[in-house]
């Protein structure tokens, strides 16, 4: 395999779905484990901060860009293993650089169940375990069997089984306790041959109401359709799709905070939306809070605003800077906290440092 190519001053905006942000001082696209190791050695030898880039679908890059090395993982391959695991599932080893939706579409077309509700999500496979990607009633933690990583502590390649990944709502050890320690190389998914689709999410159930139970392909199409209605499917030319998806997480509250929120809602003659998945985790809809704090869909001015289809997505309406997004983010957080007593946390990853309204959270 050829040696890796180190590029300099590469604009990062075009590598993100937000289309925002400055350049990477150094940039490497790694197509193999060897390249990843070389790139890590390069960063180490020059004492450069390292940022690992996947599909760029969940990022807000600062206007100053990244001062060190951006390592884009481009390891390809969807490799189906022969035989079944102990629960009758088939294993797929998937390169971290593969397009996630390509993997989902292949799985569905070959009638493997387990990821059909995760259709139409932008980004690459390597990002899926990091934030435990979830949508429409499924989470990748249910089908990930193991994750192959480089451990930056000792530069060894390791296979981490799902149990040690610490999966939770939009989190894992990769973005919490062990953040910055591992680089994801490949993910092994365990899918059920000829399995039934998961139709539990209200939006999906409603879609199929009064119809025959759907197959996997129909479920995939329905999810893509619902995502498109919410501006959560990347459609070239749709101004609402220049975003990082949900900008905030749905807050998970304590019993006490939840009661307090219900009281605040009641005082305004409102009722919190209720779904089993919300109730069991004391989770509340961030979109609901945003919309009831004076930020309607379509809110905004000039270059940055809220999607006209979904209150949780901040969109770049053309030429927006990270500082613009940051200002709107601050405004939303402030108002929501003032009215509802709940602090919204970004779901998107903020990359780089920036002298913006109140500074940028530094990643890595
Ligand atoms: N809800 C349920 N069950 C249902 C319907 C809704 O629990 O049957 C909950 C949702 O979990 C959410 C709220 O009700 O808390 C509002 O539902 P909506 O479908 O509008 O979802 P959302 O909060 O806007 C979340 C994810 C999306 C994901 C959708 C669909 C986050 C931050 N966002 O969005 O993920 O596609 O649910 O499941 O958790 C992303 O992470 O970037 C993202 C787009």
Q: 265 with 326, same domain?
A: yes
Q: Which residue has the higher pLDDT, 172 or 301?
A: 172
| 24 within 8 A of 45, measured Cβ to Cβ | no
Q: 286 and 170 share a domain?
A: no
Whether 142 maps to a domain, the answer reads yes
Residue 2 maps to a domain: no
The beta strands (E) that lie in 118-225 are given as 134-135, 138-139, 144-151, 156-161, 182-193
Residues of the chain with pLDDT > 90, as a percent, come to: 89
Residue nearest to atom 36 of ligand 1 (CA): 135
85 and 66 co-located in one domain: no
Interval between CA 288 and ligand 1 midpoint (Å): 11
Flag whether 338 is in a domain.
yes
Buried b (16+ CB within 10 A) or exposed e, 311-340: bbbbbbbeebbbbbbbebbeebbebbeeeb
- What are the catalytic residues? 170, 246, 347
Provide the pLDDT confidence category of residue 362 given band limits of 50, 70 and 90. Answer: very low
The pLDDT tens digits for 212-271 are 999 999 999 999 999 999 999 999 888 898 999 999 999 999 999 999 999 999 999 999
Select from 229, 253, 279 the last residue of a domain. Answer: 229
- Residue 336: phi and psi, rounded to 5, are -60, -40
Residue 356 domain flag: no
The pLDDT-based confidence of 355 (bands split at 50, 70, 90) is very low
Question: Residue 66's domain spans which residues?
Answer: 7-73
CATH number of the domain within which 315 lies: 3.90.78.10
Residues 180 and 270 in one domain: no
- In this structure, the residue with its CA closest to atom 17 of ligand 1 is 285
Structural domain total, the chain: 3
How far is residue 1's CA from residue 76's CA, in Å, rounded to a whole number?
Answer: 14
**Domain CATH code at residue 42:** 3.30.43.10
User: Does residue 360 form part of some domain?
Assistant: no
Residue 357 lies in a domain: no
Q: Looking at the structure, do residues 252 and 340 belong to the same domain, yes or no?
A: yes
Q: Which of 32, 51, 73 is the last residue of a domain?
A: 73
Domain match, 125 and 214 both: yes
Ligand 1 centroid, distance to 326 Cα (angstroms): 22
For the chain, give the percent of residues with pLDDT over 70. 97
The last residue of one of the domains, among 57, 73, 89, is: 73
What phi and psi, each to the nearest 5 degrees, are found at residue 243?
Answer: -155, 180
- Residue 1 falls inside a structural domain: no
Confirm whether 345 is domain-assigned.
Answer: yes
Tokens 């905070």 belong to: 257
Q: Which atom of ligand 1 is the closest one to the Cα of 286?
A: 23
pLDDT attached to residue 295: 97
- List strands edge to edge, sheet with 300-301: 300-301, 304-306, 314-316
225 and 99 together in one domain: yes
Q: Running DSSP on this structure, what letter comes out for residue 12?
A: S
CA-nearest residue for atom 34, ligand 1, is 246
CB of 343 closer than 8 Å to CB of 270: no
Q: Which residues does a 6 A CB cutoff place in the pocket of ligand 1?
A: 135-136, 201-203, 232, 245-246, 249-250, 273, 275, 277-278, 283, 285-287, 312, 347
Long-range contacts of 298-305 (CB under 8 A, 24+ apart): 300/328, 304/328
Question: 32 and 170: one domain?
Answer: no
- Regarding whether 258 and 152 lie in a shared domain, the answer is no
pLDDT digits (tens, 9 = 90+) for 56-80: 999 999 999 999 999 999 999 999 9
């Amino acid at each position: 395999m050829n040696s890796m190519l180190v590029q300099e001053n590469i604009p990062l905006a075009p590598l993100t779905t937000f289309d925002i942000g400055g350049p990477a001082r150094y940039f490497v696209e790694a197509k193999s484990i060897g390249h990843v190791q070389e790139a890590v050695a390069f960063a180490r030898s020059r004492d450069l901060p390292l940022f690992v880039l996947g599909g760029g679908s969940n990022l807000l890059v600062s206007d100053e860009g990244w001062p060190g090395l951006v390592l884009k993982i481009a390891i390809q391959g969807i490799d189906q293993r022969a035989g079944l695991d102990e629960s009758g599932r088939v294993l797929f080893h998937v390169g971290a650089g593969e397009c996630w939706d390509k993997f989902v579409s292949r799985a569905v077309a070959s009638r493997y169940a387990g990821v059909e509700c995760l259709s139409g999500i932008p980004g690459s496979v390597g990002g899926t375990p990091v934030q435990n990607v979830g949508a429409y009633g499924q989470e990748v933690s249910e089908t990930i069997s193991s994750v192959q990583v480089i451990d930056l502590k000792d530069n060894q390649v390791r296979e981490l089984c799902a149990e040690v990944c610490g999966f939770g709502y939009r989190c894992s050890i990769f973005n919490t306790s062990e953040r910055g320690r591992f680089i994801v190389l490949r993910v092994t998914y365990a899918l059920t041959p000829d399995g039934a689709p998961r139709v539990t999410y209200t939006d999906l159930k409603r879609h199929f109401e009064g119809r025959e139970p759907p197959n996997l392909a129909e479920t995939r199409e329905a999810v893509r359709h619902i995502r498109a209605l919410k501006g959560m499917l990347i459609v070239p030319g749709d101004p609402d799709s220049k975003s990082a998806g949900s900008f905030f997480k749905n807050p998970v509250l304590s019993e006490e905070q939840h009661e307090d929120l219900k009281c605040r809602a009641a005082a305004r003659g409102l009722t919190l939306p209720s779904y089993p998945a919300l109730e069991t985790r004391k989770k509340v809809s961030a979109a609901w809070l945003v919309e009831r704090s004076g930020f309607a869909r379509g809110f905004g001015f000039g270059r940055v605003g809220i999607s006209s289809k979904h209150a949780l997505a901040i969109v770049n309406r053309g030429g927006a800077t990270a500082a613009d997004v940051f200002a709107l983010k601050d405004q939303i957080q402030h108002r929501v906290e003032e009215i509802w007593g709940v602090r919204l946390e970004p779901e998107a990853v903020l990359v780089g440092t920036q002298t913006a309204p109140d500074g940028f959270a530094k990643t890595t």
